[in-house]
């Protein structure tokens, strides 16, 4: 990849590239990064705070596409790229094709056997993982101020059904049985998502809302921000599965971690920020995710939209929003639910707390059917309907570069 050497990319990126390479934080930097790079998959690193590291490879290339007005033409070509084994589409700007060729390569530490084991685990635990990554991760994301504001004020925030569909594509791909096989698409979706992040980094600081929502950042979606999102999905899901006493073997746990390690590398995160073990992930999550959770106007509004959409699709017997609100509160707990302004539906919350443990025990083969309360199947059906809605949302959707911010935001 001679045309995309680190030196040339930094020169092309100008001030942003220098900022990224040197890790120089502004005077109003709000965090002190202490997580040790020795706990990462790289095993070492400079220890630079990832809050001040972005994507020195993707950012200048995608910015140039936007500045030249090539987004529509590029999106038309990207739409034809759908499988891991497909060549990068022809007709793209040369520097973009070079970047994509480089970005699609798996890291040398990727373990094919573990990726296959993760695919099998994802298939067997899809009921739980879709619930946790979809509803649980969604509610966590709206309680992460930077993520909620970036989503709300970018182009996708104006059409949340489309936004959910496109966001889901990467999640579907990671959890698919053929995820990293030639006929899978996780590599394609990850590279496209990486480019969307770069586009948002270029566009969002131009929004009239940016001075109000920037939270001290010069540029949104830092590597720290991506890892915060990673923990709201991978680390959170593993925590909840263990809390629910779901049988996860050490090999399955390691495989599930590995597919998320590889996937976040494919999003452009430096290896020194990717936890090597679940213990390391827990430690990093406590430092980067737990302290940043807060309520925002944007997060509350997005929560209401998301739960409203979910209630429309998952209403068994006419039971709609109260059950959905209670399920969301149960999944993320009172602290996050309060930050998201999720109503406290006491009857349904009490019911879920009562029936969920035996329902899980039945699914795990630990409890016979007669001991599962009848009302548990109302909850079960609501979740099934949610999963069906969640899994079909991405049909016909394709990840594409935005060319503007949310209309009328300020």
Q: What gap in Å lies between CA 188 and CA 261, rounded to an integer? A: 16
The CB density around residue 380, as the number of other CB atoms within 10 Å, is 18
Phi, psi of 405 (to 5 degrees): -90, 180
Radius of gyration of the chain (CA): 21
Task: Please give the angle made by the CA atoms of 33, 36 and 37, to the nearest 5 degrees.
Answer: 110
Q: What gap in Å lies between CA 359 and CA 380, rounded to an integer? A: 8
Q: What gap in Å lies between CA 407 and CA 410, rounded to an integer? A: 9
Q: What gap in Å lies between CA 157 and CA 322, rounded to an integer? A: 24
Place of tokens 């739409």: 79
- The Cβ-side half-sphere exposure at 367, using a 13 Å CA radius, reads 16
Task: Please give the angle made by the CA atoms of 300, 303 and 308, to the nearest 5 degrees.
Answer: 130
Asked if 174 and 259 touch (Cβ cutoff 8 Å), the reply is yes
Buried b (16+ CB within 10 A) or exposed e, 21-39: beeebeeeeebebebebeb
Q: What gap in Å lies between CA 375 and CA 359, rounded to an integer? A: 10
Provide the pLDDT for residue 315: 61
Q: What gap in Å lies between CA 118 and CA 60, rounded to an integer? A: 34
Provide the pLDDT for residue 24: 40
Q: What gap in Å lies between CA 19 and CA 109, rounded to an integer? A: 28
Q: What gap in Å lies between CA 91 and CA 283, rounded to an integer? A: 45
Show pLDDT as tens, one digit a residue, over the chain (410 residues).
334 343 333 333 333 333 333 334 443 445 678 999 999 999 999 999 999 999 999 999 999 999 999 999 999 999 999 999 999 999 999 999 999 999 999 999 999 999 999 999 998 999 999 899 989 999 999 999 999 999 999 988 877 777 777 778 888 899 889 999 999 999 999 999 999 999 999 999 999 999 999 988 999 999 999 999 999 999 999 999 999 999 999 999 999 999 999 999 999 999 999 999 999 999 999 999 999 999 999 999 999 998 988 887 666 555 588 999 999 999 999 999 999 999 999 999 999 999 999 999 998 888 888 788 888 888 888 888 777 776 676 666 789 999 999 887 64
Asked if 409 and 208 touch (Cβ cutoff 8 Å), the reply is yes
Q: For residue 324, what are the contacts with CB-CB under 8 A and spacing of at least 6?
A: 307, 310, 311, 314, 382
């Amino acid at each position: 990849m001679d045309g995309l050497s680190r030196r040339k990319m930094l020169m092309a990126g100008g001030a942003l590239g220098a900022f990224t390479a040197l890790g120089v934080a502004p005077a109003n930097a709000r965090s002190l990064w202490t997580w040790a790079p020795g706990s990462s998959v790289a095993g070492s690193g400079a220890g630079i705070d990832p809050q001040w590291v972005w994507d020195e490879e993707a950012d200048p290339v995608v910015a140039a596409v936007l500045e030249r007005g090539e987004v529509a033409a590029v999106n038309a070509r990207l739409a034809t790229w759908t499988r891991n084994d497909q060549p990068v589409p022809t007709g793209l700007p040369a520097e973009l094709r070079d970047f994509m060729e480089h970005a699609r390569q798996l890291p040398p530490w990727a373990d094919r056997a573990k990726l296959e084991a993760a695919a099998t685990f994802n298939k067997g635990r899809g009921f739980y993982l879709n619930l946790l990554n979809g509803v649980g991760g969604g509610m966590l994301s709206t309680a992460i101020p930077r993520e909620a504001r970036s989503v709300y004020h970018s182009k996708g925030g104006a059409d949340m059904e489309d936004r959910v569909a496109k966001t889901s594509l990467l999640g579907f791909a990671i959890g698919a049985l053929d995820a990293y096989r030639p006929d899978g698409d996780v590599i394609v979706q990850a590279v496209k998502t990486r480019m969307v992040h770069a586009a948002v980094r270029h566009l969002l600081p131009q929004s009239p809302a940016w001075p109000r929502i920037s939270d001290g950042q010069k540029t949104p979606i830092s590597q720290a921000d991506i890892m915060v999102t990673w923990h709201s999905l991978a680390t959170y899901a593993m925590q909840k599965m263990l809390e629910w006493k779901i049988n996860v073997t050490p090999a399955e746990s390691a495989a599930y971690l590995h597919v998320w390690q590889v996937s976040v590398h494919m999003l452009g995160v430096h290896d020194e920020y990717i936890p090597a073990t679940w213990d390391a992930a827990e430690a990093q999550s406590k430092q980067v995710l737990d302290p940043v959770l807060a309520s925002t106007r944007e997060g509350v509004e997005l929560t209401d939209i998301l739960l409203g959409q979910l209630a429309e699709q998952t209403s068994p017997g006419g039971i709609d929003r109260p059950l959905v609100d209670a399920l969301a509160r149960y999944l993320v707990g009172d602290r996050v639910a309060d930050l998201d302004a999720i109503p406290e539906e006491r009857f349904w919350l009490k019911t879920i707390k009562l029936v969920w443990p035996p329902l899980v025990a039945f699914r795990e083969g630990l409890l016979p059917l007669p001991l599962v309360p009848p009302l548990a199947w109302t909850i079960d059906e609501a979740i099934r309907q949610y999963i069906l809605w969640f899994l079909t949302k991405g049909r016909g959707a394709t990840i594409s570069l935005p060319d503007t911010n949310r209309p009328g935001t300020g």
